[in-house]
Structures are given as C-alpha cells and as structure tokens.
Amino acid sequence: MSPESAPSPVTMDKLVSLCARRGFVFPSGDIYGGINGFWDYGPLGVELKNNLKALWWQRMVRERDDVVGIDSAIITHPRTWDASGHTDNFSDPMVDCRACKKRFRADQLDDAGSCDSREGSSEHDLTLPRNFNLMLQTRIGASEDAAAVAHLRPETCQPIFTDFKRVREVARQKIPFGIAQIGKAFRNEITPRNFTFRSREFEQAELEFFVHPSERDKWFAHWLAERNRFHEELGFARESLRNRPHADDELAHYARSAEDVEYLFPFDWQEIEGIHDRGDWDLSRHTEYSGKELSYTDPDTKESYTPMCIETSMGVDRTCLALLCNAYEEEALDEGEVRTVMRFVPEIAPIKVAVLPLSKKLAEPARELERRLRRYWNVSYDESGNIGRRYRRQDEVGTPFCLTWDFESGDDGCVTLRDRDSMEQERVPTDELVERLRERLEPTR
Ligand code: ATP
C-alpha cells in the first residue's frame, strides 16, 4: 500500500473523540458528568506531556550554564499577589444574562450563542460589565478569619521573582542569568472552552531571564529566536505557526515589548506561548512590598541596578493540544482504505516502539525483546488481532516504529522494522536494533 492523497484537515470533534477513545485527554470527574475547565491526561497523554516538559527542561535548563531550575509551592505568601498586581488587576470583564443566567466574558460575546429563556427574543438580556478576579481562592488551616485566605498561583513566574535573590546566590550566578520552572497554574476562567485550550487548571513552562538594562533588546531577540527554534523542533508545520507582536495598546503598562507564538488551531490562530520584556516591574514591586532589596551589584564594575526581565511563558497544555492537532492526519490508502496516523516527531511520541509477535505462540521471545528495549524507551507490546490492525492501532497513537517477531526471527535473528510514516518495512538483526532505533529516535541538534 502506498500513501496517495493529501491529508484531511483535523476537526476538534475528531480530535476530542480520538483523545478520549485512546486515552490522551478526557474530562476530569467524567463519571459524574465532568467539571468545566478541568481535564485528566490518560496513559498516552501523560507520556506526551512529560516528553514535552522533558525536552523543554533539557533545552532551557540542562543545556545552558546560565539557567537554573526551581519547583516552587502552588500556594505562596498572599502579599506576592498584591505586589504583582494580581489582587487588583487580574480580572476579566464579565456580563450575566438576566434571563438564562449564563455568564460570559464581555470581550467574547461573539461566542455567547442565543438565549433560550426569553419569550419573543433569542438575544441575551445582558447586565453591564463587571470585573471578575480570575484567581482561585482557598483557605489555609482551620481558621475562618480573612487572614487564612490564600490563592492558587495564577502563573508560575511570581515565585521565581520572590526567590530571585536566594537562587542567584546559591547557584553562584551573575547577570545575565535565568530561572526556569514548570508547574501548575490556576485561573477561574469565566468561559473555559476549546477543549484544553482555555482551562481552569493548566501547566506553564516559564523562564525569567535577568539582564542588564542596556541589554534587554538583545536578549529579547535571543529568546524569541530560541523559542521559535524549539517549536520548529517539535515538528510544527511552518505555515501553522507565527509570531504576533503585541500592539502598543495591548502591552501591559510595565512591558516594553511582547510577542506571542501562535498556532493555527482548527478554531483560529491562538497563542501557545508569550515572550515578554517585563522590565524591572516584578523585582521592583517585590522590593517595595517585602522591604527586601532585590537589586544586583555587578562584582566587576560595582554598578548596582535592578535587573530587567525577559520572560518566555509556554502553556504546556496548549502546546500539547497544538501538537495533537498538528500530528493528526487521515491518510487515504489504496482501495478506499483510510488510516488515522498521528505524526508526532519521535522525541515527543508517547510510545517509541511497539513489539508485535506475529502469533501468540511467539510471545516468549517477543516479550524478551520488549523487556530489553524497555530499558531505553517507552515500549508497548500487543499480540491481539491481525498484524494490519495492530499497525493501525499504533499509527493512531503515533508510535514511530513497530517490530514484528515472526516465525523466521528465531532462526535468522532478525525482526521486521516498520516505519509509521512511510509504512516501509525492513529486516533488522536484533543485535543491531538498539543502535538502529537510537539513530532514528533520539534528538539531533
Ligand atoms: P489568554 O490571553 O489566551 O488568556 P494570556 O495572555 O493570559 O492568555 P499568559 O498569562 O501570557 O496568557 O500565560 C502564558 C501562557 O499560559 C499562555 O501562552 C498559554 O499557553 C498558557 N495559558 C494561559 N491561560 C491559560 C488557560 N486558561 N488554559 C490553558 N493555558 C493557558
């Protein structure tokens, strides 16, 4: 069989259904009807997400001597959010429909649909916009008083700023240097939507890179280029990715420049990452609110200054969603057959290799091969159904390579290696397998 026609475009319905059916992502609390804005990642989804986070950490932290990592608490001192401006300003304008009681973001009324509770009109009967703070509140300990109120962090970067001095000192870093973190963030979004795109609980992978004021433009350009290279490495089609600089009236009041990395989702171009020049806003505010000096004195020039900060902020879930959209393809084969194939690049594919014995009678040596390969990669074993159907099952979850142990394998010491994308098959000696697979599976940069 040979691939013969152009791919069908992915729709959200198809993707959501595949994600649930194959265990990538599905609603949290599904047996109770789900809970709006919260999602669970299944066995394949968690592998995809972990691979994305591991690659980010590798490129952003481990391969650089000017970036170190942290893992901070989700709940931190409430003053943090006063200083950052979230307590007063982290809000979306919200309107209510007096008739159907639904709540909408005032700036997203195009998606409000029609009202089904009014007689003689399908238009919503909207209140005036009110500001709605997006931070999720909780209480600490048994006390009922107001002092026990805390918030789940709405972004992972603020603890980086409050830890800035200690981390710089313990890591013995000089400016320029950066602090990275991957972790959960929470926002009480008014209208979660588009699958995982706008959730109430999500993960961010963020870098705050601290620089001398004279070097902020240079480092902004550096990080924009680095982050574009990362997204290319993830296998995004060039035409479905773009940079969108923020217009002056979109910029936060403290920001000098900001540029989004946008992906062309089935529903629209939307942001998956932001690169921001945040100036010295955060460190200055935390100095003001905590009374602790967070400026820096250059050990060589003795100049004292508050470093400027260039931020890269990637949404892990949004990037996973973009990866799922990007990978999905329905490919028409000979004789009217269609296969669904997820064309993940090997680095992020949830399963790297599947071992398939041609018959259940060959389970023992095939299991032995599987155990050997599991030391290196996430490997799946499947012995049920005909071999064509088993290939399709692996294609549908994006496994780059299948290995078939057949009746010859015991004698000639070879297995059939089948490539997901070309569907080509070749015989490979088992003692060369690890090396041959490594060449094709491991990152090249
Ligand atoms: P948006 O305008 O779409 O709400 P934002 O500009 O508020 O996003 P940032 O505060 O810059 O987003 O957050 C950085 C990244 O975190 C975003 O690029 C996005 O990938 C991710 N992110 C933000 N909000 C959500 C959310 N509700 N659900 C999933 N990911 C999110």
Looking at the CA of residue 272, tell me the nearest atom of ligand 1: 20
Question: In this predicted structure, what is the pLDDT of residue 6?
Answer: 47
Residue 198 in this model has a pLDDT that exceeds 90: yes
Residue 4 in this model has a pLDDT that exceeds 70: no
CA angle 415, 421, 427 (to 5 degrees): 15
Residue 379 in this model has a pLDDT that exceeds 60: yes
Q: List helix spans (H) across 256-305.
A: 281-290
* Burial classification of residue 229, based on how many CB atoms lie within 10 Å of its CB (0-12 exposed, 13-18 middle, 19 or more buried): exposed
CA separation for the pair 17, 205 (Å, rounded)? 27
Top pLDDT among 334 and 294 is at 294
Average pLDDT over residues 38-47: 98
CA separation for the pair 269, 278 (Å, rounded)? 24
pLDDT in tens, 348-357: 999 999 999 9
Of all protein residues, the one whose alpha carbon is nearest to atom 27 of ligand 1 is 198
Question: In this predicted structure, what is the pLDDT of residue 51?
Answer: 98
CA angle 334, 344, 236 (to 5 degrees): 105
pLDDT in tens, 281-293: 999 999 999 999 9
pLDDT in tens, 121-159: 999 999 999 998 999 999 998 877 777 899 999 999 999
Residue 5: which pLDDT band, with cuts at 50, 70 and 90? very low
CA separation for the pair 48, 56 (Å, rounded)? 12
Instruction: Tell me how crowded residue 323 is: count the other CB atoms within 10 A of its CB.
Output: 25
Q: Say which DSSP state 128 is in.
A: P
Q: Quick one: what percent of the chain has pLDDT higher than 70?
A: 98
Beta bridge partners of 305: 296
Residue 44 in this model has a pLDDT that exceeds 90: yes
Output the CA 206–ligand 1 centroid distance in Å. 12
pLDDT in tens, 427-437: 999 999 999 99
CA separation for the pair 45, 319 (Å, rounded)? 12
Cβ–Cβ < 8 Å for 365, 384 = no
Output the CA 55–ligand 1 centroid distance in Å. 20
Question: In this predicted structure, what is the pLDDT of residue 108?
Answer: 83
The single-letter code of the amino acid at 408 is E
Helices and strands in the chain, H and E counts: 13, 23
Of all protein residues, the one whose alpha carbon is nearest to atom 4 of ligand 1 is 198
pLDDT in tens, 408-422: 999 999 999 999 999
| Average pLDDT of the chain to the nearest whole number | 94
Output the CA 38–ligand 1 centroid distance in Å. 15
Residue 296 in this model has a pLDDT that exceeds 50: yes
pLDDT in tens, 244-258: 999 998 898 888 899
- Ligand 1 contacts (CB < 6 A) are 155, 187, 189, 198-199, 202, 204, 271-274, 313, 315, 317-318
Q: What pTM was computed for the model?
A: 0.94
Task: Write the Ramachandran bin of 430: left for phi over 0, alpha for psi from -120 to 50, otherwise beta.
Answer: alpha
Of all protein residues, the one whose alpha carbon is nearest to atom 16 of ligand 1 is 315
CA separation for the pair 210, 288 (Å, rounded)? 18
Question: In this predicted structure, what is the pLDDT of residue 444?
Answer: 61
Pairing type for strands 103-105 and 91-96 reads antiparallel
Could you name the CATH architecture of 351-441? 3-Layer(aba) Sandwich (3.40)
Output the CA 362–ligand 1 centroid distance in Å. 50
CA separation for the pair 19, 49 (Å, rounded)? 13
Looking at the CA of residue 270, tell me the nearest atom of ligand 1: 3
Output the CA 261–ligand 1 centroid distance in Å. 11
Residue boundaries of the structural domains of the chain: 12-84+152-325, 92-132, 351-441
3-state secondary structure of 114: coil
Output the CA 197–ligand 1 centroid distance in Å. 9
Of all protein residues, the one whose alpha carbon is nearest to atom 23 of ligand 1 is 315
Query: Which homologous superfamily is 12-84+152-325 in?
Result: Bira Bifunctional Protein; Domain 2 (3.30.930.10)
Identical fold between 12-84+152-325 and 351-441 = no
CA separation for the pair 39, 201 (Å, rounded)? 8
State how far the alpha carbon of 17 is from the alpha carbons of 10, 204, 344, in Å.
Answer: 11, 25, 18
Question: In this predicted structure, what is the pLDDT of residue 3?
Answer: 41
Best probe residue, ligand 1, of 318, 319, 320, 323 (max atoms within 8 Å of C-beta): 318
Looking at the CA of residue 273, tell me the nearest atom of ligand 1: 18
Which residues does 91 contact at the CB level (< 8 Å), separation at least 6? 131, 132, 133, 134
Of all protein residues, the one whose alpha carbon is nearest to atom 2 of ligand 1 is 271
CA separation for the pair 260, 334 (Å, rounded)? 41
Output the CA 332–ligand 1 centroid distance in Å. 36
Top pLDDT among 66 and 107 is at 66
Residue 440 in this model has a pLDDT that exceeds 50: yes
Residue 7 in this model has a pLDDT that exceeds 70: no
Q: What are phi and psi of 167, to 5 degrees?
A: -65, -40
Looking at the CA of residue 204, tell me the nearest atom of ligand 1: 16
Question: In this predicted structure, what is the pLDDT of residue 8?
Answer: 55
pLDDT in tens, 216-225: 999 999 999 9
* H or E stretch at 165: helix 164-170
Looking at the CA of residue 199, tell me the nearest atom of ligand 1: 28
CA separation for the pair 374, 192 (Å, rounded)? 38
Output the CA 267–ligand 1 centroid distance in Å. 16
Residue 2 in this model has a pLDDT that exceeds 70: no
Output the CA 155–ligand 1 centroid distance in Å. 9
Of all protein residues, the one whose alpha carbon is nearest to atom 3 of ligand 1 is 271
Residue 1 in this model has a pLDDT that exceeds 60: no
